[in-house]
Every structure is written in structure tokens, then in C-alpha cells.
């Protein structure tokens, strides 16, 4: 079938792309899509689907977006997981003989697009070698590159933490089991790529061997890096010289926090909209720049384990916390600073506009102003940061001197540079302005000569300059006017004198645009040449922002400087949970925590809602804050360095991963028991809850015993409802009982949120249920069931089996003394209740079950009475 030449060109270019990459084809002022692409894009972007004559194929579907609005539309497509190839006209249409030459100039993909946002946006590459998986992560916008390798699970953790938007896998490689779910959870796409050939990675960094970049020859990590860089080269088609040197994911001297720990401790925001829960990151973020916020997040997720490095940061924070004037000046200097890394990325991928160039200059000026404020005789970190830094002020000043105050958003229309910057540009501009004044004179002259008062000189792209005469005056038009165009209201003419001028003026205008563009490009080139030093400068500025932000946080929220030691243990006086405190304010009740090598295990009991989870998480958050170099919410804190934080805390979203709650619990527990060292902090919340009481209790007991009997016992906070475990402290001096205090009142109980150094005497489950508004009749029956259970022979026997009972059963005289739970009608209810899986229900369904339970219980009450 023969297509029009343009459509043939389109087809040829499209055939070079993967099937699912959309092609945006530049036609005049629009980027157009055709065929299936047009159908998909018109739906995705909610734009009108039209058609275009394609030759014998007839009309084919088409839709398009104006070229100046491309970025916005691209962003929307990328957000929906599309990959988009941009095809531009690569020669001047005026100079083209026949069809304009077009080429793909870049491919925009979810993992490589540079967006105007502060969040990181990663591209990941996975390379499999036997049991080892190599991983590379690149944030093109921020210029960050990370690499690492490990087990399938390690890599899953990294991927979950970095939340890449796009994951590269080799064509034939089978997907790891977890990939599909990760992709769903984080809205990423998987892109299949050819196996890496050559050394795109080494070539990018101009390195002769991988060792020079910290990688091993032939390693899985190196393959992943090669995959990522080959893909970047193929899609970006630009130098990407702004990318910082690659950094290992598992740097020595960093604390490792697994994905689950990050989630359990709510370090970063989770959920969205109304479900979005406040996180540590939200509370501690006092940075004033977007890049500073990104770095703060990195610090928080990768705390240090090297005491000296932590103290170096703490010294800097102290200096800034103590000097409020200096802190305010630094923060003021940085306020409103554009994202330097992102601007560098744009220069490096050739997408910077004149506006970006000026923004870059302003960002440098702001960064330099902030850095210049640092007292060099002050903390060592300040001088270390600034020691080898070139002075970028001359560069910034030079740019600002040359560019106009409000440069255009594209480099193609001139008006970028000030007068006096370039003699040739000035000369051409004055030619243009002379031309304009000549036009004014010419207009006046012609009005005079013809006597047509309303005669006007106008301009459009098709006809150039013209003389417009209204209908009423057409009879006065002189013979030397040549008719060009008829309008409803009059006619347009040219004149030889006007034509001659027009040629001069248009040439001058085109020449100016050309010269300005070339000058702009040479500026971008100069920036690119210094991209890696500028990127380093950007990181220094972000560090200053983070340090000043942490100092601000310390002062604003009354945090104290922790004492960080190489010993094992921690002593926190009047510690607070930073996030809960931020929402409760003065109502928050501070608590102490002392863990020593001799007594590293705390067994925490107390009612639901008593504050156990808060207390446990608080310990981990304080340790993380201290080790990232921040002050902490406490009256005082002495923190022995922690190598890892492990958490096993019932997570509500386990279900969304399709794993049973109990299975997840046990998998995590297994990891903790395998990997926790004597320097680890372990939080265990209600181990065993996911299974039957006695299985759960037995597992909890065995775990506690295992931890207590170790030579290197991890610092452990063990919250439990199993009161049976309380007696452990008699067997093991390393286990200390603590509980959340409760006050019993006439109407029920009141939570004091105070930690006391004794076990809780009861679990108060039913009282908490009453507080939650369970109907009185259900509460009453629950009390009856409870007292009955306490004397059921099976239960009593099972308990006696295990240990001496702490309390004698309280037989209530006014209630049914021995309710036979296994009598048929009760048994039905018990069986039915046992079959309910509340964790898999929506709140509404759970309410219905509760309602039904109450109904059934009421029936039973009636049945019992009737007996």
C-alpha cells in the first residue's frame, strides 16, 4: 500500500522502536501521533482523536500536542507508564529539499525523565549471575548513581526502598518472584533490554577498569551498571556528564535498614490522600531546598555506624543550633534556591532553556552565599566540605551579566542576551530597530501620499510585511501597490520599497536568533564542562541545608544532642516519640529506657492502646536520629552504636502482599534470629499473635529464651500479651519486666502512657473493648466468658503444664461458674468465631461479623436461660 512520503518516513522511524514505545512526530508546531499510538495517547491525555490522509491507506487516526506544551503532556504519559520517543525535525524546513529530515532525538521513559519535582526518580537495572543479583540505580534528575549486589532478597529490599519507576531486565531473564508485586505496589514498569554489550558504564566515566570505580570485573553489579548506562545512552542520546561517580549501596559505616523496618518504623510517608500517615521524615524535614530534602532522606535511611563521622555531623549541627543568627542567615540564603542538580541534569541532557541557565546562575549564587557564611575556624565538617571547592561565583555572575532578567522559555526565538554582550548581535538588533522606525516613517509617508488615514503596515509569517487598506478606501490605492490578499474588511498590498526593507529586516532577525542560540549553546557547553564539580558543589550546598535544617529542628522541638559511644547499650532519659509527639504536643508522656549489656532485654506488657508500640518505636527512632547526626527528642540520650535495627511489628498491609500474616511474621522472625548481632536493636511486637494461642505462646517463649541465652544478646524490646512470659525475668537476669501503667477508675481504665519497671498485672482487653464502644451486653458476656475460661479444665490444665500460675483463678459467684464451651450451641459460636479472619476483612465487614457475634451470643443467652 503506498503511503504519502511523510507517512513513509513516519513508518520507517516507528519501525525502529519497540512495539510499546509511542512515537511523537514533529509536524510544524505540533508533535503528532498516528495509528494505534494516536488512539492510546488520545485516551491517556484526554485529547481529541482526529485523522490525516495517509495516501492509499486513507485517513488514519491522529492526535497531537502543541510543541511548547510537550513537557506537560510527556509528564502525564510517563506517569501512566508509557515510554515516548521524540522525533524532531533535524534540518531547517526552509533549507530542506523535499521532505524535512526527522530523527529520534530522545526516548523519554518513566525511569529516565527529568521532572520538575523534588522526589527522587530512579531507573533500576537488575543483572542475575547464579545466586547473585546485581543492581544499578540511577536518578538522572539528581545525578545520583548507586550500585550493589546481593541475594535476591537483599536486592528486593533495595528496590523497595528506592522505589524505581522503571526496572530493566535482560530480554530472556525470568522475572524474580517478587518483581510483579513490587511493580504493582510502586507503580513501576519493567522494560526488557538486550544484554549489555561493551562497556557503556566504563566509557561514561572514562575509566580504564571497573576497579577504579569500586566494582569488580565480571561482577553482577558491573553487568547491571552496564545495562543501565547502555539504556541511558540509547534513550537519552546525550552526554549525561552531570552524573556523579557511582556509589556502593552497602557502604561500610552505614546502618542497614530493611524495607520492612523502614515501613514498620514509618520513616518515610506511606499511604496517600487521607490514608497518608505522618512519618519521621515529615517531622524532621526542616530543609529549605528540594535537594536538601532528598539528602535528608538519604541520611535518615542510611544512618552512620562510625562514631567519628556521626560526631563530625553532630558538631556541625551544634554549631548551627547554638548560633541562631548564622542558622537564619544560611537558611535565608538558600530559600527559593532552584534545584541545582536538576538544572545540571537538564544542561547535560540538552534540555536546558535560557530560563534554566539563568536559574542555574541564581542557584549557584545562593549556594555560594550560604557556603560563604560557614565559619571556617568552626567544626571540621565545614572546612572539609569547602576545602576543595572551586569558586563558582564568577561563572554565575558572568551568566547573570549576559542573560536578560527574564529570559525566554526556548532558545529558538532570540531575546536571550542583553545588549552590549556581543557586537554582532547588537549591530543586527540596531538594524532591526532602524527597520522598525523606517516602517513607522514609511507608514506615515504612505498615509500622506495616498490620503488614506487608516492605512496600516502589518506583518504575518506567510506574506511578510504588508500594507492594509480598508474597503472604503480601496479607490485611493496608488498604482505601485501590488495586491496580495483580500479580506472581508479590506485588502493587503506590498510595495517594492517595503519588500526591499523586509528582506534586510528578516535576515537580520534570523541572524540574531541564530547568533543568540549559538551563544546560548556555548554557555551550556561551558556548564557541562564543569558539571561534575558543580554537582559536587550542589551536594555540599545540600549538606549545608540538611545540617542547618537539623539544627533548626533541634531548637524548634527541644531536642538534645545525643552522646554517641562505642559501648553497647542505651540510656534514654525522658525520651519522646518524634512523630506522636508532633501530633500530641505537650500531652505526650516522656519515658526512660535503659538497656545495658547485662540487661539488654525488656519484656513489655500492658493493655492494648497503652503505648507499647510507641515506646518501642521511639527507641529505634532515637537511635536512628542519633546515628544520622541529628539531635534527639529526650532530656538526655546516650546511645551505644547500633549496627542494625530489626523490627517485627504487625503490619496492616501484609495482606496486600498476598502473604498470610503469620507467614510474614515467621519469615521476619527467622531473619532476625539469624542476623541480629550483639549491637543490633530488635523490636518484637506481639510475636505469635498470628496463630493459635498455645502455638503462639510457645513460639514467643522459645524466641525469648533463644535471645536470652545468647552470648551476644541483641538489645531487645519484646512487647507481649502473653502474661505467661513475665516469669522469664526470674530465670534470666538479662530480662527486665516493664509495663505501661494504667489507672483503674470506677468507669473503666485510663491509660497513663507511663512506663513502669514491673509487669502488668492484667491485660485489660475487655476494658479496652469497652472504651472502644462495644455494647454493654457484649462486654458483660465477655466478662462472663472470661471468668468461665479461667476455670475451664482444658485451659487450666494447659497452663499448669507450663508453669505455676501466678494468680489463682477468680471464680465469680454471680456468673455461670463453669460454662461448658464445648456444649453444642456454644461450640457452634466458638467454631464460627474461630473461622473468622478479621485481618482479611474491610472495617465494615468486621463490624458485620461483630454484629452477628453479638446476635448469636444473645441467642445463646436466651438458650442458657431457657434450660
Listed in sequence order, the DSSP H helices in 21-93 are 35-45, 70-79
To ligand ATP, the closest distance from the beta carbon of 604 in angstroms equals 9
CA distance 77 to 417: 34
Give, as ranges, the residues between 388 and 407 that touch ligand ATP (CB under 6 A).
none
Look-up of cell digits 491522529: 62
611 assigned binding-site residue: yes
CA distances to 274, 294, 734, 738 from 598, in Å: 45, 39, 6, 16
Closer residue to ligand ATP in complex, CB, 250/756: 756
Contact 382, 488 (CB under 8 A): no
Give, as ranges, the residues between 95 and 154 that touch ligand ATP (CB under 6 A).
none
Please give the order of strands across the beta sheet that includes 636-640.
563-565, 636-640, 570-575, 591-595
* Interface size with ligand ATP, residues (CB under 6 A): 15
663 assigned binding-site residue: no
Look-up of cell digits 520513616: 267
User: In the 8-state DSSP scheme, what is residue 822?
Assistant: T
To ligand ATP, the closest distance from the beta carbon of 682 in angstroms equals 16
To ligand ATP, the closest distance from the beta carbon of 625 in angstroms equals 17
CA distance 273 to 255: 31
To ligand ATP, the closest distance from the beta carbon of 670 in angstroms equals 23
Closer residue to ligand ATP in complex, CB, 188/593: 593
Q: Which of 124, 337, 589, 725 binds ligand ATP (CB under 6 A)?
A: 589
Closer residue to ligand ATP in complex, CB, 242/617: 617
Closer residue to ligand ATP in complex, CB, 182/608: 608
- DSSP strand pairing (166-170 vs 189-193): parallel
Judge residue 93's burial from the number of C-beta atoms within 10 Å of its C-beta, 0-12 exposed, 13-18 middle, 19 or more buried.
exposed
Total residue length of the chain = 867
609 assigned binding-site residue: yes
CA distances to 201, 431, 537, 655 from 841, in Å: 49, 77, 52, 10
Closer residue to ligand ATP in complex, CB, 361/649: 649
Look-up of cell digits 502512657: 753
Closer residue to ligand ATP in complex, CB, 88/282: 282
Give, as ranges, the residues between 706 and 765 that touch ligand ATP (CB under 6 A).
753
Contact 622, 634 (CB under 8 A): yes
Closer residue to ligand ATP in complex, CB, 485/691: 691
CA distances to 64, 744, 774 from 768, in Å: 61, 12, 9
Closer residue to ligand ATP in complex, CB, 545/581: 581
Closer residue to ligand ATP in complex, CB, 16/276: 276
To ligand ATP, the closest distance from the beta carbon of 589 in angstroms equals 4
The β-bridge partners of 604 are 719, 738
Rounded (5°) CA angle 401-402-403: 105
Contact 563, 633 (CB under 8 A): no
Judge residue 854's burial from the number of C-beta atoms within 10 Å of its C-beta, 0-12 exposed, 13-18 middle, 19 or more buried.
middle
To ligand ATP, the closest distance from the beta carbon of 602 in angstroms equals 14
Judge residue 113's burial from the number of C-beta atoms within 10 Å of its C-beta, 0-12 exposed, 13-18 middle, 19 or more buried.
buried
Rounded (5°) CA angle 864-866-867: 70
608 assigned binding-site residue: yes
Contact 194, 171 (CB under 8 A): yes
Look-up of cell digits 506517569: 79
CA distance 339 to 141: 10
Closer residue to ligand ATP in complex, CB, 342/753: 753
CA distance 149 to 128: 9
Nearest-CB residue for ligand ATP:
611
To ligand ATP, the closest distance from the beta carbon of 612 in angstroms equals 3
Span of 46-54, 57-65, 489-497, 583-591 interacting with ligand ATP by CB under 6 A? 583-591
CA distance 302 to 807: 47
To ligand ATP, the closest distance from the beta carbon of 587 in angstroms equals 6
Contact 196, 169 (CB under 8 A): no
Q: Name, in order, each residue with C-beta under 8 angstroms of 433's C-beta and a sequence gap of 6 or more.
A: none
Give me the 524-563 binding string for ligand ATP, x by CB under 6 A, dash otherwise: ----------------------------------------
To ligand ATP, the closest distance from the beta carbon of 571 in angstroms equals 18
Q: Minimal CA–CA distance to 24: which of 96, 110, 83, 97?
A: 83
Angle of helix 340-348 relative to helix 496-529, nearest 10 degrees, comes to 120
CA trace torsion 12, 14, 17, 22 (10° rounding): 170
To ligand ATP, the closest distance from the beta carbon of 740 in angstroms equals 6
To ligand ATP, the closest distance from the beta carbon of 664 in angstroms equals 17
SS3 86: strand
633 assigned binding-site residue: no
Take residue 320 and report the three cell numbers written for it. 548551627
User: Is residue 839 a contact point for ligand ATP (CB under 6 A)?
Assistant: no
Closer residue to ligand ATP in complex, CB, 241/579: 579
SS3 755: strand
Span of 346-354, 557-565, 585-593, 632-640 interacting with ligand ATP by CB under 6 A? 585-593
Give me the 60-99 binding string for ligand ATP, x by CB under 6 A, dash otherwise: ----------------------------------------
Contact 583, 708 (CB under 8 A): no
Closer residue to ligand ATP in complex, CB, 233/723: 723
Give me the 598-627 binding string for ligand ATP, x by CB under 6 A, dash otherwise: --------x-xxxxxxx-------------
Span of 297-305, 478-486, 586-594, 798-806 interacting with ligand ATP by CB under 6 A? 586-594
To ligand ATP, the closest distance from the beta carbon of 616 in angstroms equals 8
To ligand ATP, the closest distance from the beta carbon of 691 in angstroms equals 17
To ligand ATP, the closest distance from the beta carbon of 107 in angstroms equals 48
Q: Which of 10, 205, 520, 588 binds ligand ATP (CB under 6 A)?
A: 588
Closer residue to ligand ATP in complex, CB, 414/611: 611
Q: Minimal CA–CA distance to 550: which of 344, 320, 353?
A: 320
User: Is residue 821 a contact point for ligand ATP (CB under 6 A)?
Assistant: no
Contact 454, 491 (CB under 8 A): no
198 assigned binding-site residue: no
607 assigned binding-site residue: yes
Rounded (5°) CA angle 434-439-442: 125
Closer residue to ligand ATP in complex, CB, 238/741: 741
SS3 170: strand
User: Is residue 584 a contact point for ligand ATP (CB under 6 A)?
Assistant: yes
Q: Which of 317, 330, 381, 580 binds ligand ATP (CB under 6 A)?
A: 580
184 assigned binding-site residue: no
To ligand ATP, the closest distance from the beta carbon of 239 in angstroms equals 52
Closer residue to ligand ATP in complex, CB, 86/616: 616
Q: Provide the annotated binding site for ATP.
A: 606-613
* Residues in contact with ligand ATP by the rule CB under 6 A: 580, 584, 587-589, 591, 606, 608-614, 753
Q: Provide the annotated binding site.
A: 606-613
Amino acid at each position: 500500500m503506498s503511503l504519502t512520503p511523510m507517512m513513509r518516513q513516519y513508518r520507517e522511524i516507528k519501525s525502529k522502536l519497540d512495539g510499546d514505545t509511542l512515537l511523537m512526530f514533529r509536524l510544524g508546531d505540533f508533535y503528532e501521533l498516528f495509528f494505534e499510538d494516536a488512539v492510546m495517547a488520545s485516551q491517556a491525555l484526554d485529547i481529541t482523536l482526529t485523522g490525516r490522509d495517509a495516501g492509499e491507506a486513507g485517513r488514519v487516526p491522529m492526535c497531537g500536542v502543541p510543541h511548547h506544551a510537550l513537557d506537560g503532556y510527556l509528564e502525564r504519559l510517563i506517569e501512566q507508564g508509557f515510554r515516548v520517543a521524540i522525533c524532531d525535525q533535524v534540518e531547517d524546513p526552509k533549507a530542506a529539499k523535499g521532505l524535512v529530515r526527522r530523527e529520534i532525538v530522545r526516548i523519554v521513559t518513566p525511569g529516565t525523565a527529568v521532572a520538575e519535582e523534588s522526589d527522587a526518580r530512579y531507573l533500576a537495572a537488575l543483572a542475575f549471575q547464579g545466586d547473585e543479583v546485581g543492581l544499578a540505580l540511577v536518578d538522572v534528575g539528581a545525578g545520583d548513581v548507586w550500585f550493589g549486589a546481593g541475594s535476591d532478597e537483599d536486592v528486593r529490599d533495595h528496590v523497595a526502598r528506592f522505589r524505581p519507576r522503571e526496572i530493566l531486565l535482560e530480554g530472556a531473564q525470568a522475572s524474580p518472584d517478587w518483581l510483579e508485586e513490587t511493580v504493582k505496589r510502586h507503580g513501576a514498569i519493567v522494560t526488557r533490554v538486550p544484554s549489555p554489550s561493551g562497556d557503556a558504564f566504563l566509557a561514561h566515566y572514562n575509566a580504564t577498569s571497573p576497579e577504579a570505580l569500586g566494582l569488580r570485573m565480571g561482577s553482577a553489579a558491573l553487568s547491571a551498571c552496564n545495562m543501565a548506562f547502555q539504556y541511558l545512552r540509547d534513550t537519552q542520546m546525550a552526554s549525561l556528564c552531570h552524573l556523579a561517580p557511582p556509589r556502593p549501596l552497602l557502604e561500610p559505616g552505614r546502618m542497614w535498614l530493611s524495607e520492612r523496618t523502614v515501613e514498620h518504623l514509618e520513616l518515610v510517608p506511606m499511604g496517600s490522600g487521607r490514608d497518608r500517615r505522618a512519618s519521621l521524615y515529615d517531622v524532621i524535614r526542616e530543609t529549605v531546598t528540594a535537594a536538601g530534602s532528598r539528602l535528608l532522606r538519604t541520611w535518615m535511611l542510611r544512618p552512620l555506624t562510625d562514631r567519628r563521622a556521626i560526631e563530625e555531623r553532630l558538631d556541625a549541627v551544634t554549631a548551627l543550633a547554638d548560633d541562631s543568627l548564622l542558622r537564619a542567615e544560611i537558611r535565608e540564603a538558600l530559600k527559593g534556591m532552584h534545584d541545582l542538580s536538576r538544572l545540571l541534569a537538564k544542561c547535560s541532557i540538552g534540555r536546558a532553556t535560557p530560563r534554566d541557565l539563568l536559574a542555574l546562575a541564581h542557584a549557584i549564587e545562593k549556594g555560594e552565599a550560604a557556603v560563604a557564611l560557614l565559619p571556617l575556624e568552626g567544626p571540621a565538617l565545614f572546612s572539609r566540605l569547602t576545602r576543595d571547592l572551586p569558586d563558582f561565583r564568577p561563572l554565575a555572575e558572568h551568566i547573570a551579566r549576559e542573560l536578560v532578567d527574564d529570559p525566554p522559555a526556548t532558545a529558538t526565538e532570540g531575546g536571550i542576551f542583553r545588549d552590549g554582550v556581543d557586537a554582532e548581535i547588537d549591530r543586527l538588533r540596531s538594524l532591526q530597530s532602524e527597520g522598525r522606525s523606517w516602517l513607522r516613517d514609511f507608514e506615515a509617508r504612505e498615509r500622506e501620499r495616498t490620503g488614506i488615514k487608516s492605512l496600516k503596515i502589518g506583518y504575518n509569517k506567510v506574506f511578510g510585511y504588508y500594507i492594509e487598506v480598508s474597503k472604503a478606501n480601496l479607490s485611493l490605492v496608488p498604482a505601485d501597490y501590488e495586491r496580495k490578499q483580500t479580506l472581508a474588511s479590506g485588502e493587503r498590498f506590498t510595495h517594492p520599497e517595503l519588500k526591499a526593507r523586509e528582506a534586510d529586516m528578516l535576515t537580520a532577525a534570523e541572524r540574531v536568533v541564530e547568533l543568540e542560540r549559538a551563544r546560548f549553546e556555548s554557555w551550556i557547553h561551558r556548564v557541562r564542562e564543569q558539571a561534575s564539580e558543580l554537582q559536587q558543589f550542589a551536594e555540599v550546598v545540600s549538606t549545608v541545608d540538611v545540617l542547618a535544617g537539623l539544627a533548626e529542628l533541634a531548637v524548634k522541638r527541644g531536642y538534645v544532642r545525643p552522646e554517641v559511644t562505642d559501648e553497647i547499650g542505651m540510656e534514654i532519659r525522658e525520651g519522646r516519640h518524634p512523630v506522636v509527639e508532633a501530633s500530641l504536643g505537650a500531652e505526650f508522656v516522656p519515658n526512660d529506657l535503659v538497656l545495658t549489656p547485662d540487661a539488654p532485654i525488656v519484656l513489655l506488657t500492658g493493655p492494648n492502646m497503652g503505648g507499647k508500640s510507641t515506646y518501642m518505636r521511639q527507641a529505634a527512632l532515637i537511635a536512628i536520629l542519633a546515628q544520622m547526626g541529628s539531635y534527639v527528642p529526650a532530656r538526655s540520650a546516650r546511645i551505644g552504636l547500633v549496627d542494625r535495627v530489626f523490627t517485627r511489628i504487625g503490619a496492616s498491609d501484609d495482606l496486600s502482599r498476598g502473604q498470610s500474616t503469620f507467614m510474614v511474621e515467621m519469615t521476619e522472625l527467622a531473619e532476625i534470629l539469624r542476623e541480629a548481632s550483639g549491637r543490633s536493636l530488635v523490636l518484637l511486637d506481639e510475636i505469635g499473635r498470628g496463630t493459635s494461642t498455645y502455638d503462639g505462646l510457645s513460639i514467643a517463649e522459645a524466641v525469648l529464651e533463644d535471645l536470652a541465652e545468647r552470648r551476644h544478646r541483641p538489645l531487645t524490646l519484646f512487647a507481649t500479651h502473653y502474661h505467661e512470659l513475665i516469669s522469664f525475668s526470674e530465670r534470666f537476669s538479662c530480662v527486665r519486666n516493664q509495663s505501661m501503667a494504667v489507672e483503674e477508675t470506677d468507669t473503666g481504665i485510663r491509660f497513663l502512657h507511663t512506663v513502669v519497671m514491673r509487669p502488668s498485672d492484667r491485660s485489660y482487653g475487655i476494658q479496652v473493648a469497652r472504651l472502644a464502644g462495644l455494647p454493654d451486653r457484649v462486654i458483660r458476656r465477655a466478662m462472663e466468658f472470661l471468668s468461665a475460661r479461667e476455670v475451664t479444665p482444658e485451659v487450666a490444665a494447659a497452663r499448669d503444664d507450663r508453669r505455676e500460675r501466678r494468680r489463682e483463678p477468680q471464680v465469680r459467684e454471680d456468673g455461670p461458674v463453669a460454662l461448658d464451651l464445648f456444649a453444642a450451641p456454644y461450640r457452634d459460636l466458638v467454631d464460627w468465631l474461630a473461622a473468622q479472619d478479621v485481618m482479611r476483612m474491610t472495617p465494615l465487614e468486621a463490624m458485620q461479623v461483630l454484629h452477628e457475634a453479638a446476635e448469636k451470643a444473645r441467642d445463646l443467652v436466651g438458650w442458657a436461660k431457657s434450660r
